[in-house]
Amino acid sequence: MSSLRHPCIVSCFGVSLTTNGKYMIVEYLENGSLEKAIYNSKMGRTILRFETKLKILTDVAKGLVYLHSIKPHRIIHRDLKPGNLLLDKNMNAKVGDFGLSKIVSNNSATMTANVGTLLYMAPELLSNDHKGQSTKVDIYSFGIIMWEILFEESPFSNEIDGFTNVFQILKKVTKGHRPPLLFETSALLEGDKNQKVDEWIDHNFTKKQIETIGKENISKLYESYIEIMEQCWNHDASKRPEFIEITDQLETLQSNFA
């Protein structure tokens, strides 16, 4: 992993072997994990604006474009989740923690299904209904991350009440179940009629952005974002977009803040 060099990948400088254990020496990122940033924003300690969320997701997508295009052996991360995405002092995001990564050659034919964090895992891995190594499993995980950073909630948190319940949810995921939208696009145009939506807008956009962009265009931004997210977690892995396409789509959304 020390050979990986990209602005959106956490740099690994080497390994230290001591009598107490083995240690990886990696780049230090001041703002910690995206998981921490989402939690702090949810608790009101900091604020993650929609513009920043788009930038973070774009950085992550660029990092995955790099990993998935390495030749001759592309790398599938297999454990994409907010805890493995790190932020520097300027909130630039980098993909880290390659503990479950798989180096893939064109003739590889198998993949161990017991990898990653379950709630971010692609349904084809959960059901063992997969053929060969596919970068599409990372794209599914990215879709779940898009949901989490958008609403600042843990995926399926409204359904989980115990360990057994998690596996019931996963069974539904293999049949197409996904985290629910907290509100529909049409609700963004209702104004004061929907307190939850107004709170989301005020949290994700500055007053100046609301005035400049307007609620109608904010609604369109939300709708486009949801469309990308749902493409990423499509049940049919072959219909999920590649990260190069996702990057272009996210940068188009970012252009609204230029």
Provide the CATH number for the domain around residue 69.
1.10.510.10
Of 103, 105, 139, 106, give the one whose Cα is nearest residue 121. 139
Whether residue 78 is contained in a domain is answered as yes
Contact 139, 240 (CB under 8 A): yes
Q: Is residue 6 part of a domain?
A: no
HSE-up (13 A, CA, CB side) for residue 107: 0
The residues assigned a catalytic role are 79
Report the domain count for the chain: 1
**Could you tell me if residue 20 is inside a domain?**
no
pLDDT digits (tens, 9 = 90+) for 171-208: 999 999 999 999 988 888 775 567 889 999 999 999 99
Question: Does residue 8 lie within any of the structural domains?
Answer: no
Query: Domain limits at 78?
Result: 29-257
Of the candidates 81, 65, 70, 211, the one whose C-alpha atom is nearest the C-alpha of residue 146 is: 81
The CB-side HSE value for 201 (13 A sphere, CA atoms) comes to 28
Has this prediction a pTM greater than 0.95? no
Q: Is 236 inside any structural domain?
A: yes
Higher pLDDT, 19 or 256: 256
pLDDT at 162: 63
| Pairwise CA distance, residues 258 & 252, whole Å | 10
Q: Does 41 reside within a domain?
A: yes
Query: Using alpha carbons only, what angle is made at residue 140 by residues 102 and 154, rounded to the nearest 5 degrees?
Result: 110
In 3D space, the residue among 202, 191, 204, 177 whose CA is nearest the CA of residue 119 turns out to be: 177
Task: Kindly state whether residue 10 falls inside one of the protein's structural domains.
Answer: no
235 lies in some domain? yes
